[in-house]
Amino acid sequence: MDVQRYISSGVIENHVTGLLSETESREVMAAIQQHPEIRAAADAIQQDMERYIEMWAKKPPAALKRQLMERLNKDDVEEAIPVVEEQAATFAEVESFSSNGSMSLQLSPLKMWQYGAIAASVLLLVSTTLNIVAYSNADNYKTRNTTLEAGQVELTAERDAFKEQLDHTQKENSLMKDPAFKWVKMLGVGKHSGAVATICWNPESKETFVLAQVLPEPPEGKQYQLWAIVNGKLIDAGIFERDSAKALQKVKNVEKAQVFAVTLENKGGSQTPTLDQMFVAGKVAG
Burial of 118 (C-beta count, 10 Å sphere; 0-12/13-18/19+): exposed
Q: 38 with 130, same domain?
A: no
Q: 94 with 31, same domain?
A: yes
Least confident piece of the model among 3-12, 40-49, 54-63, 133-142: 54-63
Q: 25 with 80, same domain?
A: yes
3-state SS class at 120: helix
CA-CA distances (angstroms) from residue 159 to 146, 147, 267?
20, 18, 32
pLDDT of residue 128 exceeding 70, the answer is yes
Which one of 75, 107, 139 terminates a domain?
Answer: 107
Q: 128 with 101, same domain?
A: no
Q: 156 with 202, same domain?
A: no
Which one of 107, 129, 156 terminates a domain?
Answer: 107
pTM greater than 0.75 (yes/no): no
Q: 188 with 207, same domain?
A: yes
Q: For the chain, how far is it from start to end, CA to CA, in angstroms?
A: 127
Which one of 155, 177, 199 terminates a domain?
Answer: 177
Pairwise CA distance, residues 269 & 264, whole Å:
9
3-state helix, strand, coil in the chain (%, to 5): 50, 20, 25
Q: 169 with 218, same domain?
A: no
Quote the number of domains for the chain: 3
Q: 172 with 216, same domain?
A: no
> Would you list the DSSP string of 43-78?
HHHHHHHHHHHHHH--PPPGGGHHHHHHHHHHHHHH
Q: 88 with 138, same domain?
A: no
Q: 42 with 8, same domain?
A: yes
> Would you list the DSSP string of 157-176?
HHHHHHHHHHHHHHHHHHHH
Which structural domain range is residue 171 located in? 108-177
Q: 146 with 212, same domain?
A: no
Q: What is the pLDDT of residues 113-125, one digit of tens each?
A: 555 656 666 666 6
Q: 213 with 172, same domain?
A: no
Strands 259-266 and 278-283: antiparallel
Q: What is the pLDDT of residues 62-114, one digit of tens each?
A: 655 566 566 656 555 454 444 444 444 444 443 443 444 444 444 555 555 55
Name every residue whose Cβ is closer than 8 Å to that of residue 227 and which is 6 or more positions away in sequence: 234, 235, 236, 237, 260, 261, 262, 263, 273
Number of C-beta neighbours around residue 147 at 10 A: 10
